[in-house]
Amino acid sequence: MTQRYQVLLAYDGFAYHGWQKQINGLSVQEVIEKAFEKIHKQKTSITASGRTDAGVHATGQVFHFDADGKISEYGYEQALNTILPKDIRVLKVKKVSAEFHARFSAREKRYDYVLTRKKNDPFSYRYKTKVRDNIDVDVMRKASRIFLGKHDFTSFTHAKIPENKPRVKEIRNIVITEEGQDIRIRFEADGFLRYQVRMMSAVLIRAGEGKLTEKQIQAMLDARDKEAVRFNAPSEGLYLVKVTYDPEFAISDDSET
């Protein structure tokens, strides 16, 4: 009998060449699949909600895998967290029906982009993007409204997307909050194109620094042209925070309450 498991995962992406396996560097996926090989004594492939790029963090990545069902949810949590390095942590393992697919069942995603005004902070460079002291958060908030709703985001991706693949995404919410010297931009959408959050963040930062007007940003979006936006905010500020599924597949860290 094959049993499908759903896993909630957090990682500090600084040391990794992104989620997806590749030849030129260690990926999060590879490290986890090697841990499964130790547990199962055979190769096990895992499928995530989506890949994250090099240096990007996750507090709520989700993946699934199939196994023979002999190991309990708790058994996997303990085994994985024992084998995995400290910068990759399993928050929850759940048995699910075979209908569940970490990517195709996803209904909504939340990414946060974190900025800091702190100068010369040795604790920030892995986790936050440095911005000018005088960045105007209200200007950022106003500019962010341009992105709300359903739009063709071709201008906000560098990826080579096949012509027939939809580039329309629905941004449902953008909330910008300040915590001390940090600024957090929260994006919620039905999904995001590759680099979309970092390119939108780069544009909002430039708006807050007075280098881009709302009119210019609107024109970028309207252009639907991969060459229209030439900014990409650094990976270290980006966090995959939550993947939302239908209620039967909801997963959360018990300790978060």
56 binds a copy of itself (CB under 8 A): no
CA distances from 94 to 91, 178, 250 (A): 10, 34, 10
Query: What is the Cα–Cα distance from 108 to 41, expressed in whole angstroms?
Result: 35
Q: Which is nearer to a copy of itself, 133 or 227 (CB)?
A: 133
Which residue among the candidates 12, 53, 68, 138 is catalytic per the annotation?
A: 53
- Contact yes or no for 77/251 (Cβ under 8 A): no
Q: Which is nearer to a copy of itself, 80 or 233 (CB)?
A: 80
Answer left, alpha or beta for residue 41, where phi above 0 means left and psi between -120 and 50 means alpha: left
**Options 47, 81, 101, 141; binder of a copy of itself; rule CB under 8 A:** 81
Closest distance between a copy of itself and the C-beta of residue 123, in Å?
6
Is 121 in the active site? no
* Number of residues in contact with a copy of itself under rule CB under 8 A: 22
How many residues in total does the chain contain? Answer: 257
- Contact yes or no for 92/77 (Cβ under 8 A): yes
The answer on whether 111 is annotated among ligand-binding residues is yes
Structure tokens at 63: 């993946």
Which range binds a copy of itself by CB under 8 A, 10-18, 170-178, 184-192, 198-206? 10-18
179 binds a copy of itself (CB under 8 A): no
Output the known binding site.
Answer: 111
Q: Which residues carry out catalysis?
A: 53
